[in-house]
Amino acid sequence: MYSSSETSALEIICIGGGVSGLYFAIKAAEFATVTIYTKDELPKSNSYHAKGGIAAPFGDNDSTSYHIHDTLIAGAGLCNEKAVTYMIQNSLRCIEDLETLGTEFNKDENLQFDLSREGGHSHNRIVHIKDETGKEVINRLIHLARNHPNIKIKEHHFVLELITEDNSVIGASILNTQTLSIENHYAEIVVLATGGAGNLYTFNTNPPSATGDGYALANRAGATMMNMEFVQFHPTMLYLPNREDNILISEAVRGAGAQLKDSKVIQFMYKYHTMGSLAPRDIVARSMLKEMQHEGSDFLYLDATSLGEKKLQDDFPFIYNACKKYDIDSSKEMIRVVPAAHYICGGVATDIDAKTSVNRLYAIGEVACTGVHGANRLASNSLLEGIVFADAAADSIKNMKIPKLKKSVLNKYYHEEPQDIEQVISTVSQSDIQQLMWNNLGIVRNPTAMKSAENQLNIWRQTLVSEIKIQGRSYQLNELLNMVETAMLITSFALNRTENKGTHYAEEE
Ligand SMILES: Cc1cc2nc3c(=O)[nH]c(=O)nc-3n(C[C@H](O)[C@H](O)[C@H](O)COP(=O)(O)OP(=O)(O)OC[C@H]3O[C@@H](n4cnc5c(N)ncnc54)[C@H](O)[C@@H]3O)c2cc1C
């Protein structure tokens, strides 16, 4: 399949333009040409919405071993300690590299990082840019990628399928969502950086594009998947009765002193954990669900009034203004909050170089399962994982002898003319999938509900496969299929887990 005689530059396809895809592309463009595909326009991604920041042990009293310890505790015994150690040992270097690339993190008067605190961390160690870290980092990386001669960015290109031969990936089949034409792009290396799948759930903090495409693509290509049952629910999304918006109230607000309270204004979290409102997320989300059931309410409260108007405006401008938009003055009144699906801890299994079980296929960022999160991610470790393993992937590819693709493979170049699909109609709806997952595979699960979800998802999958056969390759149908297939992965992993760990909690019947 491959010949080593070709001398032109190594070609890499990177699917995704969030923090991991962009950082990878910038690093790999030093020795290869990289094409980034994104299904929406940049900067739409989970990364852009990241609020709190990036965890790293920069503090005077902090150390690599404390950060490793906190990560392992949050992961409930299922972390890969080698991967955790690698990530944290490389955290300072990678964050300093982001600074060198022009990211301006908040600093104190001594020009040291202004470090905030989030749930599960024993020390202040969140490097941030006010409460809009993701936006600032992503804008900087996009600027660099757009101006790099070795990086091509193709927005509105939805990757339909990975092309494989003999357990090696050799390219991707891609739908241009504006012209509706399909083309195959062959390359020596494919990197999956497709982010998460929050939109599988009714209440979620993710932007609409997080539909789990990468998990489904990798699974169909035969890659080994891991830990898919571990879906992290963030305790504090702003509760809006009509779900007008997904506004996350960052844990840094609790780190700064805000407290979770019930309708009687009582801090209930100390009943459940000594760290109170800053206990690990799985414990907070489950405790909130119990309190909500006890109160018969759809929401609880976050009391940030003790922070005062100035601190809220200065340190949390996004949250302060987002609340204001919905007539909530967070300096004077409690904020209604609800736990919401936030992060997929599992994914495509990778080694420490971000290699998957399929040759030449790498996975980085949220779609990957490097093992650093175990059964529950420690807050602000995901942007860190994204950059550290993007860097590791670029390094590993740089140091590998990669034979070029044979001409015969390139001759299989395939281009399908635009299709004439006016309106795609499916009998499966996104909200049906979301409701099923929220009710049956949510914060608290049970075997009967999970089994029934499995049956329903199977039926929807068959329906979508038939609809795609009749209506052709469409963005909407393929996205729905990817959602259903990712939901099936979460369900089957959850059914196979026999003990409760971290974010997976099933009641006995
Ligand atoms: C509201 C919010 C706040 C958060 N706050 C923090 C925080 O403070 N700290 C922290 O560490 N983490 C935080 N997280 C989590 C973190 O932001 C994500 O885990 C991380 O940004 C994921 O980055 P990524 O590069 O893997 O994917 P993303 O940033 O989600 O990017 C995915 C990319 O893949 C593309 N894509 C997907 N499918 C396809 C397809 N089929 N074809 C083509 N392109 C495709 C998308 O277009 C997009 O460009 C937060 C998440 C959210 C939602």
Residue 502 lies in a domain: no
Q: What tokens does 114 get?
A: 């202004």
The rounded distance, in Å, linking the Cα atoms of 324 and 331 is 10
Q: Specify the CATH number for the domain of residue 269.
A: 3.90.700.10
Final residue before a domain boundary, out of 410, 430, 447: 410
* Ligand 1 neighbour 116 (Cβ under 6 A): no
Same domain assignment for residues 18 and 75? yes
Task: Report the separation in Å between the CA atom of 20 and the middle of ligand 1, taken as the mean of its atom positions.
Answer: 8
The verdict on the CB of residue 161 being under 6 Å from ligand 1 is no
Provide mean pLDDT across the span 17-45: 97
pLDDT at 7: 43
Q: What is the mean pLDDT of the chain?
A: 93
d(CA 112, ligand 1 centre) in Å:
28
Q: Could you say which of 306, 339, 372 is where a domain stops?
A: 339
CATH of the domain at 486: 1.20.58.100
Residue 472 has pLDDT above 80, yes or no: no
pLDDT for 418: 56
| 182 and 260 both lie in a single domain | no
Ligand 1 geometric centre to CA of 333 (Å): 31
Q: Is the CB of 171 under 6 A from ligand 1?
A: no
Contact by Cβ (8 Å): 141, 26 = yes
Whether residue 504 lies inside any domain: the answer is no
501 found inside a domain: no
Range of the domain at 443: 418-496
Residue 103 lies in a domain: yes
102 shares a domain with 130: yes
Catalytic residue among 117, 125, 254, 281: 281
Q: What integer pLDDT is reported at residue 52 of this predicted model?
A: 86
Q: Are residues 255 and 317 in the same domain?
A: yes
pTM here is: 0.95
pLDDT value at residue 32 = 96
Q: Find the 403 Cα to ligand 1 centroid distance in Å.
A: 31
Statement: residue 3 has pLDDT above 60: no
- Which of 410, 438, 466 delimits the end of a domain? 410
Percent helix, strand and coil across the chain, each to the nearest 5? 40, 20, 40
Q: What residue spans of 147-280 are helical by DSSP H? A: 213-220, 251-255
pLDDT in tens, 280-289: 888 999 999 9
Other C-beta atoms lying within 10 Å of the C-beta of residue 321 = 12
Ligand 1 close to Cβ of residue 158 (< 6 A):
yes
Ligand 1 within 6 A of 212 CB?
A: no
Angstrom distance (rounded) from CA 282 to CA 7: 51
From 46, 211, 345, 350, give the residue whose CB has the most ligand 1 atoms within 8 Å, as the site to mutate.
46
- 3-state secondary structure string across 267-314: CCHHHCCCCHHHCCHHHHHHHHHHHHHHHCCCCEEEECHHHHHHHHHH
Q: Does residue 40 belong to any structural domain of this protein? A: yes
What is residue 17's predicted lDDT score, i.e. its pLDDT?
Answer: 98
Quick one: what percent of the chain has pLDDT higher than 70?
95
For tokens 């009714």, the residue is: 202
CA distance 474 to 160: 9
448 shares its domain with 328: no
Do residues 138 and 6 both lie within one domain?
A: yes
210 and 286 assigned to the same domain = no
Q: Are the CB atoms for 426 and 477 separated by under 8 Å?
A: yes
pLDDT tens digits, one per residue of 292-306:
999 999 999 999 999
Same structural domain, 118 and 164: yes
| Same domain for 113 and 67 | yes
Are the C-beta atoms of 253 and 319 separated by less than 8 Å? Answer: yes
- 254 vs 277: CA distance, rounded Å: 7
Is residue 387 over pLDDT 80?
Answer: yes
Please state the rounded mean pLDDT for residues 101-108: 96
Query: Is pLDDT above 80 for 412?
Result: no
pLDDT band at 423 (very low <50, low <70, confident <90, very high): low
How large is the average pLDDT for residues 326-353? Answer: 97
Q: Which atom of ligand 1 is nearest to the CA of 207?
A: 53
Quick check: CB of 386 below 6 Å from ligand 1?
yes
The pLDDT value recorded for residue 420 is 58
Q: Whose CA is nearest to atom 27 of ligand 1?
A: 195
CA of 361 to the centre of ligand 1 (A): 19
pLDDT at residue 469, as a whole number? 85
Please count the structural domains in the chain: 3
In a domain, 80, yes or no: yes
Let me know if residue 507 belongs to a domain.
no
For residue 250, the model assigns a pLDDT of 87
Task: Give the tens place of pLDDT for each residue, 205-261.
Answer: 999 999 999 999 999 999 999 999 999 999 999 999 888 889 999 888 998 999 999
Together in a domain, 99 and 152: yes
Q: Do both 196 and 244 map to the same domain?
A: no
Q: Which pLDDT does position 405 carry in this prediction?
A: 78
Residues 73 and 203 in one domain: yes
Indicate if 473 belongs to the active site. Answer: no
Quick check: CB of 377 below 6 Å from ligand 1? no
The answer to the question of residue 505 being in a domain is no
Alpha carbon of 407 to ligand 1 centroid (Å)? 35
